[in-house]
Amino acid sequence: MVNTDNIRQLAVSRGCTVKENEPMHRYTTFKIGGEAQLLILTPNIPALRAILKQCGEENVPVFVLGKGSNLLVSDKGIEGVVIKLEDDFRQMTLVEDDTVFCGAAASLASLCRFACDNGLSGLEFAWGIPGSVGGAAYMNAGAYGGEMRDVLLCCNHITRGGDVGSLSGEGLELSYRHSAYMDSGDVITGVTVRLHKDSKTEIEKRMDDFMRRRKDKQPLEYPSAGSIFKRPEGHFAGTLIQDSGLKGARVGGAMVSPKHAGFIINTGNATCGDVLSLIEHIKKTVDDKFGVELECEVKPTGIL
C-alpha cells in the first residue's frame, strides 16, 4: 500500500472526516467490496483542491465515489485515497426560471424532486435511478428514452492537479454512457441543467409512471449495480441473456436476476470474484450463441 500519512493529516486540517481501512461494501448498492485504504469525506471545494493536489504530488491513487450505484469494488479493496463529496456538494439552486445548479454529491432523485417542486420538466426519466448527480453526468446516465445530455448545460470540475475548470456543450463529449470526464479524470463538482416549465401534476404523473415500470420490471429488492451491460448495437442485452437461457444462472452468491436478465443480483454473500466470473460466463455464452460481444456498463474498481 502507498503511504497516505501526509494526505490524512492534510484532510483532517481541512475539516474532512477521514476513515482508514473502511469497508466499501457499506458504500455500494451491490453491497460488495473490500476496504478503502483511506476514505475522505470532503465537505467543500478548497478541501477537495488541496487533497487532489497533494495526491498528485505524492503519486497517490485517487478514486472519487458517488452513490456507488454503478460500481463493483474488488474484494481486495482500493489502494490509496477514496474521496466522497459531502456538504457543500449537495446544494441545489434555481439560477433562472428554467435552469438549476446542483452539486455533484446530491442524489439524482433529490434533483428530480427539486425540479418537480419548481414545475420543471425534463428529468422525469431519471426518477428512480439510484446514483449521484455527478455520477449521472460522468456516465451520461439515461433511461426510458431520456439521458443527461438532453438537459446538461455545463459541468464544473477540479482537475487532478487541483485547478478549477468547467466543460459545456460539445466539450462534454456526451454519447451513450460516456462523457469527456471518463477520459480526463477531472472530478465533477457541480452541474447546470436546463429544463422547461410544465404542470407539477403532469410531471409527477410521468415520474410515477417511470417508477411503476422500474418496480414491475427490475429486481429492486436485491442489491445490484443496475444494468450490468451496455446496450449492444441493434439488440437489448437483457433479451440476449434471457434468450441464452441464463436467467437464474449463478456463481456463488451472484445470480442473473430471474426478473430481469440484464441485472446481476447479490443474493446475500456475493463477492466481486463471483460477479466477475458470472459476467465472463454471460459474455461467452451470448457471444457463442448470437455472435454479439457484450460490454460492461458497471465499473470494476480497486485491486483486481
Active-site residues: which are they? Answer: 177, 227, 297
40 bridge partner residues = 18, 83
Produce one character per residue of 34-51: b if its CB has 16 or more CB atoms within 10 Å, e if not: bbbbbbbbbbbbebbbbb
Alpha-carbon Rg for the chain, nearest whole angstrom, is 20
3-state secondary structure of 154: strand
Element spanning 301, H or E: strand 299-301
| Lookup: cell for 63 | 478514486
| Lookup: cell for 225 | 449495480
- How far from 86 is each of 47, 134, 198, 256, CA to CA, in Å? 11, 12, 31, 34
Element spanning 29, H or E: none
- At 238, the amino acid letter reads G
- DSSP conformation letters of 157-208: EE-TTS-EEEEEGGGG--BTTB-THHHH-PEEEEEEEE-EE--HHHHHHHHH
Give phi and psi for 31, each to the nearest 5: 60, 40
Closest of 183, 176, 181, 201 to residue 191, by C-alpha: 181
d(CA 31, CA 99): 35
The owner of cell 460488495 is 32
Q: Look at strands 299-301 and 71-73 and give their pairing.
A: parallel
Q: State the greatest distance between any 2 C-alpha atoms of the chain, in Å, as a whole number.
A: 57
